[in-house]
């Protein structure tokens, strides 16, 4: 099993950041991953930076962020769309740094019209963006963790290329990996080979190869295999990504997760 991993959860639409941070501390989580979209957009969070830092300190938790992915396209074949998306993500990283976020999750994807563009061109644009944004994140003191996205530019089967071409760390989304055709053994194999590059994991439980984001343990993903593969020296972060605004499901999910850890 994993050794010094820390646990937390991703905020969802309808959750107040302050309430989420307070709950995290009370429930024994180590961090909260703030969704930077909608009410959690960067300008609003930056205005609340001092309050967020104080709330996190009071609760004894750290802060991470999930960078916006709707409305941006870091792999767009259209230069101005791509450059504008990079600027928006860079601004979000600046905001994250203002409240001392440790890590930032980035989708490695593009919304380009597939039939019109060859895959190598789109991959190249995503890789260029990842390199640029990873450099920017490092300057801000934030670790960029690139997430596998099914039917995006980089799913789990494409990540070896991203590892070779960039220095960025990975966010492994387990539900997305299942959509790529990986069962428990396939997810474990990825963890075993690339655990040194996987810094963050989205614990996305599913019953079938769909992006269900169920409460942890209510699906059929064999998480214990992945944890065993990461090994006792792995010291990354495990984030419950459950599509709910009800903290009771997160408490139950943490109980189930703690049983495995």
pLDDT band for position 152 (cuts 50, 70, 90): confident
CA distance 70 to 111: 10
106-147 pLDDT, tens digit per residue, is 998 999 998 999 999 999 999 999 999 999 999 999 999 999
Assigned domain for 254 exists: yes
208-249 pLDDT, tens digit per residue, is 999 999 999 999 999 999 999 999 999 999 999 999 999 999
Tokens of 1: 């099993």
Assigned domain for 28 exists: yes
Assigned domain for 63 exists: yes
Number of structural domains in the chain: 1
Assigned domain for 96 exists: yes
CA distance 174 to 77: 28
Assigned domain for 1 exists: no
- Containing structural domain, residue 170: 6-260
* 239 contacts 10 by C-beta, under 8 angstroms: yes
Assigned domain for 153 exists: yes
Three-point CA angle 13, 14, 18, nearest 5°: 105
Residue identified by tokens 């189930």 is 256
**CATH no. for residue 177?**
3.20.20.150
CA atoms within 13 A on the CB side of 71: 9
DSSP state of 196: T
Which of 91, 178, 187 minimizes the C-alpha distance to 137?
A: 91
Whole-number pLDDT of residue 2: 75
């Amino acid at each position: 099993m994993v050794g010094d991993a820390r646990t937390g959860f991703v905020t969802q639409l309808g959750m107040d950041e302050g309430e989420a941070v307070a709950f995290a501390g009370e429930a024994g989580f180590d961090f909260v991953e703030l969704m930077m979209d909608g009410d959690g957009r960067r300008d609003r969070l930056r205005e609340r930076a001092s309050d967020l830092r104080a709330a996190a300190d009071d609760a004894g938790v750290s802060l991470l962020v999930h960078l916006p992915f709707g409305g941006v396209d870091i792999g767009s074949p259209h230069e101005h769309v791509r450059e504008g998306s990079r600027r928006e993500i860079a601004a979000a990283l600046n905001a994250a740094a203002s409240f001392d976020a440790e890590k930032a999750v980035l989708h490695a994807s593009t919304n380009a019209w597939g039939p019109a563009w060859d895959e190598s061109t789109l991959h190249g644009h995503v890789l260029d963006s990842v390199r640029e944004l990873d450099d920017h994140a490092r300057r801000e003191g934030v670790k960029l963790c690139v997430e596998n996205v099914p039917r995006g530019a980089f799913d789990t089967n494409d990540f070896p290329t991203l590892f070779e071409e960039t220095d960025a760390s990975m966010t492994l989304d387990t539900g997305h990996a299942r959509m790529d055709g990986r069962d428990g053994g396939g997810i474990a194999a990825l963890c075993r080979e690339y655990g040194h590059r996987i810094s963050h994991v989205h614990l996305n439980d599913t019953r079938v190869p769909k992006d269900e984001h169920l409460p942890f343990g209510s699906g059929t993903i064999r998480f214990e295999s992945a944890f065993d593969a990461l090994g006792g020296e792995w010291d990354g972060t495990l984030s419950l990504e459950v599509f709910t605004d009800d903290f009771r499901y997160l408490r139950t999910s943490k109980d189930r997760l703690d049983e495995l850890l």
